[in-house]
Amino acid sequence: MIVQTSVDGLRAWKKNRAIKSPWIRVLILLVIIAYFILASQSVEINFERIRLGLSRIGTMFNGFLRPDFLSRGKYIADGVLESVAMTIVASSICLFLAVPLSLGASRNIVPLPIYLVCRVILMIVRSLHVVVIGIIFVIMLGFGPLAGVLTLMLNSVGFIGKLLAEDIENIDKEPLEAIRATGASWLQVVVYGVWPQISTRFIGLAIYRADINFRQSTILGIVGAGGIGGVLDTAMGRYDYRTAGAILLVIIAMVLVAEYISSHIRRRIV
């Protein structure tokens, strides 16, 4: 904004503020400061404990830098295989569940009651963290990869379901009308009108999701739901940092490989 100065008739300029009133600006600043003071009180830092822990950093890094793949090699290999198997099974089953659910969650395809039910299911599934779902399944089904598979599946269905439903709600509606006008049934409209418009996007999402499933399969073991995470948890629990270092390297490598494969395939499809 341009303002007149008292000096020699020169005009001056001031940058417009996003919040005009200086009182509100001060108020916001005070609120932020107050928050940080209040919030930081709930963080207790036990310096005595940290001092003890810091001496462990040396041992830890010493172990991480000399990773030991062999002495617990069988467990690591089993863990990796389990993670891969969980990813494959969960990702493939989820495909069959995600499509009907996403159709159900699209306002332009189904009547309102079905839409609301599907949306609520999606919302609940999505807001629960994968680890929470994992704990619940472990309690219901016992320890092991089956709980992990179901966990990943449910989580993927929520993820793909929501994104795909958004795409379905945005599809071109003229082809649908044209197909409906030929006297086609609801299923025929979906197969001939909806599916061709979303199939590429669906495949892209599915592959992206498989990538995420693999990442998540590495932590489910911590709560007993199978995969490499359990082996890592055990190794850390025994202060066996050399094995832990090896597992971390394996996880990083496999996550990178999965990411590379996933983005490579997606680039080829689109």
CA dihedral 107, 108, 110, 112 (to 10 degrees): 40
Cβ proximity to another protein: between 12 and 34 the closer is 12
Q: How far is the CB of 92 from another protein (least distance, A)?
A: 5
Residue at token pair 């100065």: 5
Cβ proximity to another protein: between 63 and 104 the closer is 63
Helical segments of the chain, H only:
22-42, 47-65, 73-104, 112-127, 130-141, 145-169, 173-181, 186-189, 195-220, 228-237, 241-269
Is residue 60 close enough to count as binding another protein by CB under 8 A?
yes
Cβ proximity to another protein: between 87 and 106 the closer is 87
Report whether 112 contacts 267 (CB < 8 A).
Answer: no
Binding mask 2-31 for another protein (x = CB under 8 A): x--x-x--xxxx-xx---------------
Cβ proximity to another protein: between 109 and 115 the closer is 115
Is residue 265 close enough to count as binding another protein by CB under 8 A?
no
Q: Which stretch binds another protein (CB under 8 A): 96-104, 106-114, 177-185, 229-237?
A: 229-237
Binding mask 143-172 for another protein (x = CB under 8 A): xxxx--x-----------------------
Q: In sequence order, what DSSP letters do the residues of 85-132 get, joined into one string? A: HHHHHHHHHHHHHHHHHHHHT-TTTS-HHHHHHHHHHHHHHHHS-HHH
List the one residue from 123, 178, 191, 269 that touches another protein (CB under 8 A): 123
Q: Bridge-partner residues for 13, per DSSP? A: 2
Is residue 110 close enough to count as binding another protein by CB under 8 A?
no
Binding mask 75-104 for another protein (x = CB under 8 A): ------xx-xxx-xx--x------------
Distances (CA, A) of 23 to 18, 36, 103, 129, 227: 13, 20, 50, 41, 55
